[in-house]
Amino acid sequence: MSALEFARRIRNRQHAIGYWVVLDDPIATERLARLGYDYVAVDAQHGLIGYTGIRNAMLAIDAGATSAAMVRVEQNDPFAIGRVLDAGATGVIVPLIDSAEDAAAAVRATRYPPEGRRSYGPMRAQLRVGPKPAEANESVLLLAMIETPQGLHNVAEICATPGLDGIYVGPSDLRLAVGGETSTDPAVDEVFEQAVEKIAKAAEAAGIAAGIHTPNGEVARRRLEQGYTFASVASDLVHLEQAAKAHLSAARGDL
């Protein structure tokens, strides 16, 4: 699937399922990217991975010729956004978006003039995304994360931002934002679910995609049935630990 085809799929609110990578291991990432996920997202914010690792992850994902390569950047910054796009990302997920102004700034960072202020230097991206500025503008996705009290309050205005392709829920921070004492606090389940529903409806009303991070495939399926249009599943580090623990328990006869 080309970058443009994937971008159109997300913009058209077609269902997509992705995987989340936090480890700096391109060989593992390449194997994951061959499993059939629609996209693989590399986490440059909380992941254990730097720029060289991001670049190598893009190579690994593209080698599979199956999944689109996404990156969650460190922050809403033109340099952070521009360099992962130059490395070949088909789109970026930008954290901590509090307002329509924040979202508009992120849009400008992903688009070449006159639509934005992205600097032209697609070192690797020119091989597959673009390279003409207008083509790149059409092929690159921008997703804004809704995960703060301000972002939740302003979600309708954020979703209405021109050029924004979709929003993405960070459930851990969102649970804290609605009053949770921890990122998994069950005491706020009801208000958390209300927030998740509010975000999905705001995206639908604006005609943009709505995505969410989930802990497993079952929850991902439930969120898609709930109205979300794409969902990411867990992460490589989480699954590595879960699999190793399960095998240890089996070997010890704990199961």
Strand partners, 21: 42
Question: Which of the residues 46, 153, 239, 247 is marked catalytic?
Answer: 46
Give the pair of three-digit tokens for residue 176: 């804290």
Q: Which of 12, 8, 15 is nearest to 221 (CA)?
A: 15
Give the pair of three-digit tokens for residue 188: 């706020």
User: Rounded to an integer, what distance in angstroms lies between the CA atom of residue 146 and that of residue 149?
Assistant: 9
Give the pair of three-digit tokens for residue 244: 């190793």
User: Rounded to an integer, what distance in angstroms lies between the CA atom of residue 143 and that of residue 201?
Assistant: 16
Q: Which of 240, 215, 100 is nearest to 159 (CA)?
A: 100
Is 46 catalytic? The answer is yes
- Determine the residue type at 232: S
Q: Where are the beta strands (DSSP E) in 96-214?
A: 141-146, 166-169, 209-214
Farthest-apart Cα atoms in the chain, separation: 64
Q: Which residues are catalytic?
A: 46
